């Protein structure tokens, strides 16, 4: 499971050959959520409110790159790193 970004204790990952809809996984401590790339909504799981705000802000800035990484992972290729939230 490739890690594509890290910021403020949040780890962003994508799995190879994942199921639709396009999404990524955000991990913060013991919490994890799968988040839709297109709608920027939690599909499953949960994050603490502050961590979720940070993740959604980051995802909005990098939505195009996330979709590109999604396609790479679907093709069993290595996704590219995405800049962290400053």
For 15-28, write each residue's pLDDT tens digit: 887 788 999 999 99
Q: Indicate whether 67 pLDDT > 80.
A: yes
pLDDT for 57 equals 98
Q: Indicate whether 83 pLDDT > 90.
A: yes
Strand, coil or helix: 38? coil
Q: Which residues of 30-53 are buried (b: 16+ CB within 10 A; e: fewer)?
A: eeebebebeeeebeeeebeeebbe
Average pLDDT, integer, range 29-57? 97
Q: What are phi and psi of 7, to 5 degrees?
A: -160, 140
pLDDT for 1 equals 72
Q: Whole-prediction pTM value?
A: 0.93
Any idea what DSSP says for residue 54?
H
Average pLDDT, integer, range 42-46? 98
């Amino acid at each position: 499971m490739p890690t594509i970004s890290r910021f403020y204790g949040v780890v962003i990952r994508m799995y190879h050959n994942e199921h639709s809809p396009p999404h990524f996984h955000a991990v913060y401590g013991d919490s994890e959520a799968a988040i839709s790339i297109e709608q920027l909504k939690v599909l499953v799981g949960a994050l603490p409110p502050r961590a979720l705000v940070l993740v959604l802000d980051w995802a909005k800035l990098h939505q195009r790159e996330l979709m590109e990484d999604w396609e790479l992972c679907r093709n069993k290729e290595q996704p590219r790193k995405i800049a962290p939230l400053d």
